[in-house]
Structure 1
Amino acid sequence: MSDFVPNGVLCIDKPAEFTSFDVIAKLRGITHTRKIGHAGTLDPMATGLLPVFFGTATKACDILPIQDKRYLAGFQLGMTSDTEDIWGSCTKTGVTVPDRETVESALEHFRGEIMQVPPMYSALSVSGKRLYDLARQGITVERQPRPVTIYRLELTGYDPETGSGTLDVCCSKGTYIRTLCADLGQKLGTGGVMSSLRRTEAAGFTLDDAVSLETVAEWMQNDGLKGKLLSEERLFSPYPAIRLNPVQTRMFLNGVRMDLNRIPDAAKADPSTPWRIFGADGQFLGLGQAFTEAKELRLLKFFVERN
């Protein structure tokens, strides 16, 4: 493989039937580099935004801020499934599906903070065992409801003849969209399953930032990834920013703790929140954190290669 390691974020529009790891494996082969990671696993049948990290950006995998995610989800009323989606064992309920107004009214119940019971077919563990492993053995265990937040829930399409529709969902981390579809069906008394899922926003990126694997392959036939990767800084957009002067930039790059009183805005920093650190030339250097008792700005993570 090439010694060249690109640094930054590449957003992939994941195709159906690919696992998130399949995408990583494909990119390793296309780009001839191994230092690649990703954020926010997508199920194989889901499509859409998968942020992929190259080089120094892989350092972000374990420190990403908690951000909302957005999906376009297809649902089908009038049936149930052991997996809460159409890829499981489905059973038609025979119940007449409602009109659009009734569906709209039911959706109000799911907006805001709600309690959601995780599905059996999920990666959560109970007593050290993955729920999906238990489910495949035909074992069902009690799961405790968990709080999740639905910030946006809009019915963007609905056919009252078939009971099929589409939801635009913006939600907190840990929300199961197929469970949302199943719970909607239960609320309506018809049963319901998720019929499709496409992620449109995650980790501060949108589908507008995403490209296909085929596009990446074409890039590698020409100029490679030069100029194509997005800055790691966008991953941390919820955090406030500090710009250092030339002397402070050198100190930060050398891991030197700095006096907060000598850094504009840093003295009033929230000690519980990391800061995006920019060098004198505007380059994103990494993350730092203010320790107000010690009156110091300390390094948390570098995102720049030091000479």
Structure 2
Amino acid sequence: MNGIINCLKPPGMTSHDAVDFLRKQLGIKKIGHGGTLDPGAAGVLPLFVGKATKAVEFFEETTKEYVAEMTLGTTTDTGDNLGHVLETKEVDVDVSSILEVLRRFVGKIEQIPPMYSAVHYKGRKLYELARRGITVERQPRTVEIFSLELIKFEKPRVLFRVSCSRGTYIRTLCEDIGRALGCGAHLSCLVRTRLGPFQIFRSFTLEDIRTCVSQGEVQKIIIPIDEALAPLMPSTRIWLKDQKLFFRGALFPAKKISMEQNAKYARIYDQDNRFLGVGEILTREDNIYLKVIKSFQ
């Protein structure tokens, strides 16, 4: 069994808990996840089964979309509603001021990772230090906010939709927006609605997964590896005589490849349309070549 299940993670469990759940359901140990979600967050969490675990890296740079609620006037030590309240302030803002501040955060911005995060510092995860009451200096990171849309404002709560790059902390975004508004804020609810090609309206709850497994219908919910990769890269085909070179990682001409602008990788099939793996697209003297970087055989 090899493929990806678009899981709808509920709040209250870690991403690793979701992996453990699927391992127990399928009786398969080789399962991983893409794009960690905080325990308090819900939403899209792709689970990679079997050989599909080798494909996780191709989804790491894809954009993510969230619907988030931030509560103005209250800051916490974790940046969300699971932490201890640090300060409360009066909220004296209107829709126009919120819209003006949101516009400032669209584009490339600098974020300082929160202490309660999995970022490593001298071999330790920051949240491990934070739990011991230790705060260390963190270097700012550049992330990109592609869009930031106000959905609803009902004081003190602001509901918004954000599309962003990998590494963006929505908790930190809420804190920074609250700071810019002068009243402070924290993240009070978060749902990831999309991670790359995986969308929430095509996701499956834990109960959906349990039911399909019990009825022997897992194939209804598992996405083939190459199908999941299709929105991210073009495809090409090689003939049988080239397959040994392919599996040895040699360069070989990429003929009749359906190229997309700025494509770095391609899905590779044999003459029987069997998916073989992913190759890196290389250009040498105006000729296009492929070098296998992941075999799925």
Q: CA deviation at 1:125?
A: 2.1
1:223 equivalent in alignment to 2:186: no
How far apart in 2 are the matches of 1:59 and 1:68? 19
Separation of aligned partners in 1, 2:250 and 2:220: 33
Q: Residue 8 of structure 1 contacts residue 54 of structure 1 at CA under 8 Å; is this kept in 2? A: yes
Amino acid aligned to 1:222: Q
Higher mean alpha-carbon deviation, 272-281 vs 183-192, is at 272-281
Please name the residue that 1:263 is paired with: 255
Alpha-carbon offset, residue 274 of structure 1? 2.1
CA distance in 2, matches of 1:254, 1:125: 35
After superposition, the Cα gap between the structure-2 partners of 1:235 and 1:97, relative to the gap in structure 1 and judged at 3 Å, is farther
CA distance in 2, matches of 1:56, 1:194: 36
Query: Structure 1 residue 43: deviation in Å?
Result: 0.8
Equivalent runs, 1:142-181 vs 2, <5 Å = 142-159=137-154, 162-181=155-174
Paired residue for 1:198, among 186, 191, 197? 191
Give 1:128-139 correspondences, 5 Å limit. Answer: 128-139=123-134
Q: Post-superposition shift, 1:232? A: 1.5
Encode CA deviations 1:95-143: one digit per residue, 9 max, x unaligned.
2331111111111110111111111111112233322122222222222
1:13 to 8, 12, 23: 8
- 2:112–2:141: 8 Å Cα contact kept in structure 1? yes
Measure, in 1, the Cα distance between the counterparts of 2:284 and 2:79: 51
The equivalent of 1:243 in structure 2 is 237
Moved more, 70-79 or 247-256: 247-256
Looking at structure 2, the residues matched to 190 and 219 of structure 1 have their Cα atoms a distance apart, in angstroms, of: 48
The superposition leaves residues 178-201 of structure 1 with CA deviations (integer Å, 9 ceiling, x where unpaired) of: 000011110000110000111111
Does the 8 A contact of 2:252 with 2:291 survive in 1? no
1:70 to 59, 65, 73: 65
Give per-residue Cα distances to partners, 1:156-212, cap 9 Å, x unaligned: 1110xx310111010011110000001111000011000011111114211122101
Per-residue deviation, 1:66: 1.1
Residue 208 of structure 1 is aligned with which of 192, 201, 204?
201
- Percent of counterpart pairs with the same letter? 37
**Number of the residue aligned with 1:41:** 36
1:249–1:279 Cα contact (<8 Å) kept? no
Q: 1:297 aligns with which of 283, 290, 295?
A: 290
Q: Which residue of 2 aligns with 1:3?
A: none
Q: TM-score, normalised by structure 1?
A: 0.87
Q: CA RMSD in A?
A: 2.5
Q: Secondary structure at the match of 2:110?
A: strand
Query: How many matched pairs?
Result: 294
Q: Which runs of 5+ in 2 are unaligned?
A: none
With structure 2 as the length reference, what TM-score do the two structures score?
0.90
